[in-house]
Amino acid sequence: MENIHNDFEKLEIPLMAKLVIAYKSAHKNINSFPKHERYALGEKIEKTILEAVEFIVHANSSSKFEKERILVRINGKIEILKILYRIALNCGIIEQRKYLEEQKALQECGRMAQGWIKYARNLK
């Protein structure tokens, strides 16, 4: 099982690898959410991460004309995740330490997405 985790860290697309790790962390944190929040806010967080991963697959295989549009959507998903975690913190659902860890990881994902967007703009 450990080899599978290591394989995700070696993915060709670094942003996808980071988001897969973020999903694993989110899944672990969401298990500590109160039951009603686990099935509301928790599911939304997991779903948003998975949607971002899906967009990464599309961006990686898209034409240069479509790539920037998809990358902007990925960046939007990352921003939404930051807001969802802030809501969780403000509602007392997640500890500040865990919130800061998630925010740090999402900020790194955001920088990676922005770098990819700049690269895609230079392809035109």
Helix (H, G, I), strand (E, B) or coil at 10: coil
Q: How far apart are the first and last CA of the chain?
A: 42
Task: Kindly state the percentage of the chain with pLDDT values over 90.
Answer: 87
Which domains are assigned to the chain? 2-123 (1.20.1440.60)
pLDDT-derived band of residue 71, with 50, 70 and 90 as boundaries? Answer: very high
- Report pLDDT digits (tens) over 16-35: 999 999 999 999 999 999 99
Helix axes 96-123, 14-30, angle to 10 degrees: 160
* pTM score above 0.85: yes
Token code pair at residue 9: 């860290």
